[in-house]
Amino acid sequence: MPKLKTKSSAKKRFRFTAKGKVKMPQANKRHGMIKRTNSQIRKQRGTTIMSKQDSKIVKSYMPYSLRG
């Protein structure tokens, strides 16, 4: 059986928590910050947990991760 390749873009963008959830950087933070309120910008600091439906797709991109 051939080995599966991990998607390079996924391993750069996502990490797994100890329980197997997917951590990702906050969306909508690249440009256009001047239009956003300060509270929006504050809430988008750091990382967030991906939804269950989307994390299923990401886990298929990373077949050999420990929490996949």
47-49 and 22-25 strand pairing:
antiparallel
**pLDDT tens column, 15-60:** 999 999 999 999 999 999 999 999 999 999 999 999 999 999 999 9
> Does residue 68 surpass a pLDDT of 60?
no
CATH 1.10.10.10 fits 8-61, yes or no: no
List the Cα angle 38/30/61 in 5-degree steps. Answer: 125
Q: How many CB atoms lie within 10 A of CB 14?
A: 20
Using a cut of 0.85, tell me whether the model's pTM lies above it: no
Contacts of 32 (CB under 8 A, 6+ apart): none
